[in-house]
């Protein structure tokens, strides 16, 4: 049965596998970039970013030598910015430790920031044809259906890794892993899998039991918290706006933003903005009209940003709770990397 699963999958892949730009490459750097971009982002979004990235940072050394702000700017819009910071740090480490050559040993790859077992397996199998299994979100779903897993995948991770390893075709690990990812992305999709066209339908237990839409079982998740944030677009007399750079550690670290903070219970948006700006920057402002309200959902919480035009009154701005602050004009603001929710504020400023 295992050899039939291998052969049928490889046969299917060679006939209808996706033609993706990184598939042609055997350069571990290029494959690494694609693997990291694909971690949380869909293929069609990734392709233009991937191509621009390789034009801007064609080698590991070029990435290592870049300024972090350039790296974050190139990533702007892809989200999960820790991925970009980790790529940058890992490139610097590879230059120092391996003379700029991406390592080809599992332990060395796993030691790089931002690389877990499935990403390491994906890179080493694609670049060097090493027989290492993978288990990303798509593969978990396919394998869970193949064996009609009776529990959510997170409860059976060891079993799923074992299955991925057992099935892997050690003669063709590169193609096998790529094929498995394609199966999950194109036929064995989360909703309405296309089992009629699937090379594994003969052996797939979920399909044969008619439960493919109920597997994998969903993880039970608590509802995500909702944060209400007052945000200030602070203008001075020279038509400049005050922006700050978030601390390196934590969500969106190293990106620029408009200052502000969380509403306290019973507080008005205006009072929140005045208090936060005093605490964060040590200055006095007056709060004017609402510019825009922005809703944004991250993985673990949702935010609503109440954004107001504000006027600088007095005090020397200081980076009390951020890394850096700057007065910039609207024309200059595009040089700075901002998170998606803040990009909407910039667009609103341009059209206001």
> Which residues are marked as active site?
35
Nearer to ligand SF4, 14 or 290 (CB): 14
State the nearest-atom distance from the C-beta of 142 to ligand SF4, in Å. 5
Strands 256-257 and 260-262: unpaired
Q: Give the footprint of ligand SF4 on this chain (CB under 6 A).
A: 142, 145-146, 187-188, 193, 195, 198, 200-201, 204, 206-207, 212
State the nearest-atom distance from the C-beta of 148 to ligand SF4, in Å. 9
Nearer to ligand SF4, 200 or 312 (CB): 200
The three-class DSSP label of residue 209 is: helix
Contact criterion met (CB below 8 Å) for 293 and 283: no
96, burial (CB in 10 Å: exposed 0-12, middle 13-18, buried 19+): exposed
Residue by residue, DSSP assigns 12-54 as HHHHH----GGGG---HHHHHHHHHHHTTS-HHHHHHHHHHHH
Q: Looking at residue 326, what DSSP letter applies?
A: E
CA angle (118, 121, 127) in 5-degree steps: 135
Nearer to ligand SF4, 12 or 53 (CB): 12
State the nearest-atom distance from the C-beta of 136 to ligand SF4, in Å. 15
Give the contacts of 249 (CB within 8 A, at least 6 positions apart): none
Nearer to ligand SF4, 140 or 145 (CB): 145
State the nearest-atom distance from the C-beta of 194 to ligand SF4, in Å. 6
The three-class DSSP label of residue 219 is: coil
Nearer to ligand SF4, 206 or 231 (CB): 206
């Amino acid at each position: 049965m295992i050899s039939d699963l291998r052969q049928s999958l490889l046969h299917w892949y060679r006939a209808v596998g996706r033609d993706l730009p990184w598939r042609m490459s055997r350069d571990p750097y290029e494959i690494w970039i694609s693997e990291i971009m694909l971690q949380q982002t869909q293929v069609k979004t990734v392709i233009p970013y991937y191509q621009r990235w390789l034009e801007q940072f064609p080698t590991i050394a070029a990435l290592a030598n870049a300024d972090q702000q350039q790296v974050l700017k190139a990533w702007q819009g892809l989200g999960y910015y820790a991925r970009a910071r980790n790529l940058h740090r890992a490139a610097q480490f590879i230059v120092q430790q391996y003379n700029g050559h991406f390592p080809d040993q599992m332990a060395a790859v796993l030691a790089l920031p931002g690389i877990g077992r499935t990403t390491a397996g994906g890179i080493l199998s694609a670049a060097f044809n090493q027989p290492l299994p993978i288990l990303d979100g798509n593969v978990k779903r396919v394998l869970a259906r193949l064996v009609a897993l009776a529990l959510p995948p997170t409860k059976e991770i060891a079993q799923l890794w074992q299955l991925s390893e057992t099935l892997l075709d050690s003669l063709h690990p590169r193609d096998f892993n790529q094929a498995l990812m394609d199966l999950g992305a194109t036929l064995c999709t989360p909703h309405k899998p296309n089992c009629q066209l699937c090379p594994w339908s003969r052996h797939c237990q979920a399909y044969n039991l008619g439960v493919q839409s109920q597997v994998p079982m969903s993880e039970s998740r608590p509802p995500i918290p909702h944060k209400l944030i007052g945000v200030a677009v602070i203008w001075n007399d020279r038509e400049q706006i005050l922006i700050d750079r978030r601390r390196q550690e934590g969500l969106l670290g190293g990106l620029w933003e408009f200052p502000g903070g969380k509403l306290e219970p019973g507080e008005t948006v205006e009072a929140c903005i005045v208090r936060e700006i005093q605490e964060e920057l040590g200055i006095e402002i007056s709060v004017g009209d609402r510019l825009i309200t922005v809703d944004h959902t991250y993985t673990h919480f949702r935010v609503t940003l109440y954004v107001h035009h504000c006027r600088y009154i007095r005090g020397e701005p200081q980076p009390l709770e951020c890394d850096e602050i700057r007065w910039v004009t609207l024309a200059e603001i595009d040089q700075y990397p901002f998170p998606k929710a803040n990009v909407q504020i910039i667009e609103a400023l341009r059209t206001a």
